[in-house]
Amino acid sequence: SAELMHGKRGLIMGLANDKSIAWGIAKACADAGATLAFSYQGDALKKRVEPLAASVGSDIVLPCDVDDEESIDALFAALQEKWGKLDFIVHAIGFSDKSELRGRYVDTSRQNFLTSMDISVYSFTAVVKRAEKMMTEGGSCLTLTYYGAEKVMPHYNVMGVAKAALEASVRYLAEDLGKDNIRVNAISAGTIKTLAASGIGDFRLIMKWNEYNSPLRRTVTQEEVGKSALYLLSDLGSAVTGEVLHVDAGYHVVGMKAVDAPDI
Ligand code: NAD
């Protein structure tokens, strides 16, 4: 209902196009009555993000490259001026050199390891640190992670290591900010065909594998991630913090799926 997020103001980071997970979350929040601001990376994305933002009634669209502290400061200074207070943030950002999202993890370069950790892990902490100051009446912070943090997935490589660190940071941030009623959670999303995902080797095969092997026998949509995000971002999740919620059609619980076994 449009009541759930009525009066809540939230920042959505990581919208690239209408396939982005950030878009599924933004729509769910807007449908529930939230007022949204968006940040985008680089001028090329501005013209994509502006019309999407407008379609959910938002005219606050600001640049932010999370590898740059000044850029993050400028984003929050602008939000402080426009809104003064903030109720939630969504961090749907990750990056790794796509030439290292195939082949062996052991071949990861030092430079790409550091870049992947910087943009995919530290940026969430950097953003939460700024958001904390504006969440004067409590708040909810959400990031996106993937099963490759927990188990080895083909080609995910350094991103798996980065997501493991991101999930650990969710727990530490939850403890730091809990005293101020600011909750920090992650959604571990099933595979969804997005711009970022298309950089991962054999992504189509991984999607198919999820479809065949998850308990629900399918993949998930950005709308479904949006619905679960709404739970964590709204009062429905008021006692939930430090959590990694799997929105993956149940894929993470399966050791081996039941099949009609031939005579073994
Ligand atoms: P996407 O390509 O739509 O979004 C990735 C976003 O990261 C883009 O908007 C990009 O601009 C932004 N970004 C990258 N580097 C940045 C930087 N330096 N500064 C600011 N923004 C930067 O892809 P997506 O799949 O929607 O990815 C969103 C999140 O969801 C990522 O953290 C990703 O790892 C995670 N995730 C995706 C899947 C999937 O299957 N698609 C599954 C689980 C988790």
Q: What is the ipTM of this complex?
A: 0.99
User: What b/e readout covers 50-77, taking b as 16+ CB neighbours within 10 angstroms?
Assistant: eebbeebebebbbbbebeeeeebeebbe
Pocket lining for ligand 1, CB < 6 angstroms: 14-16, 20-22, 41, 45, 64-67, 92-95, 119, 144-146, 189, 191-192, 194-197
Entry pTM: 0.98
Instruction: Kindly list the catalytic residues.
Output: 146, 156
The architecture CATH gives domain 9-249: 3-Layer(aba) Sandwich (3.40)
Q: What does the domain layout of the chain look like in residue ranges?
A: 9-249
Q: Which atom of ligand 1 is nearest to the CA of 197?
A: 41
Which numbered atom of ligand 1 lies nearest the CA of 21?
A: 26
CB 131 within 8 A of CB 203: no
pLDDT tens sequence for the chain (264 residues): 679 999 999 999 999 999 999 999 999 999 999 999 999 999 999 999 999 999 999 999 999 999 999 999 999 999 999 999 999 999 999 999 999 999 999 999 999 999 999 999 999 999 999 999 999 999 999 999 999 999 999 999 999 999 999 999 999 999 999 999 999 999 999 999 999 999 998 999 999 999 999 999 999 999 999 999 999 999 999 999 999 999 999 999 999 988 777 776
Residue 197 Cα, ligand 1 centroid: separation in angstroms? 8
Cβ atoms of 188 and 149 within 8 Å: the answer is yes
